[in-house]
Amino acid sequence: MTLVQDRVGFDAARRAMIDSQLRVSGVNDPAILTAFAALPREDYVPDAARAIAYIDRAVPLGDGTVLAPALTHGQMLTAAVPVADDHVLVIGKPGTYLGALAAQLAARVTVAAPDGDWTAAAPYSLVLIDGAIEVAPAGLAAVLADQGRVVTGLIERGVARLAIGRRAAGELVFTRLGEADFAPLPEFAAKKSWSF
């Protein structure tokens, strides 16, 4: 297969992802769909996984992490309602697809590792956590601007749900929006405790 044939195949797969995974599931904001159309998802996975970059499930990245399904990222962006003047923090694997999508929608985007320091460019009007958390990252409420929001997967009783959080009395308060396909982020797991 030539490079041109390869590119045409990926372009068709990207259009099919938008039409058969995003639009039919309620991700219909034109700006969000344009962001998905502009980004070659196959460039965000290892070479061995390029052929499955557009499947409707998580794609293993080979280092113990996964690229979330396009629908998960679409649902996150739909819930977040990003605008051009948002200052966005994406917490996830550096250089992530979600960070690149956010950069299509907002002028200022910072991508940080889950165990990184995100305070330098605070405050953020929007924080996207690329994965599911059991507990909110320490200090996250402090870097969130007034009226800012956090969109993530929230794990409760083993089930991940899309959630949006806002700061109230110095703490993050989350509203659950529905089940979604998020990979857990071990950095934000609840501490294990014994109970009898």
Residue 92's CATH number: 3.40.50.150
Residue range(s) defining the domain that contains residue 49: 3-188
φ, ψ dihedrals at 72, nearest 5°: -60, -50
**Does residue 174 form part of some domain?**
yes
Residue 70 placed within a domain: yes
Structural domain contains residue 193: no
Q: Is residue 164 part of a domain?
A: yes
pLDDT of 103 reads: 97
Does residue 195 form part of some domain? no
Q: What is the pLDDT of residue 5?
A: 47
Q: How many domains does the chain have?
A: 1
Residue 194 forms part of a structural domain:
no
- 29 CB burial (10 A radius; 0-12, 13-18, 19+): middle
CA 139/CA 178 separation, integer angstroms: 26
Nearest Cα to 41, choosing from 81, 69, 19, 77? 69
pLDDT for residue 119: 83
* 72 within some domain: yes
Per-residue pLDDT of the chain (196 residues; tens, 9 = 90+): 454 446 669 999 999 999 999 999 999 999 999 999 999 999 999 999 999 999 999 999 988 899 999 999 999 999 999 999 999 999 998 779 999 999 999 999 999 999 888 888 899 999 999 999 999 988 899 999 999 999 999 999 999 999 999 988 888 999 999 999 999 999 999 887 665 5
Is residue 130 a contact partner of residue 100, using CB atoms and an 8 Å limit?
A: no
In a domain? residue 30 = yes
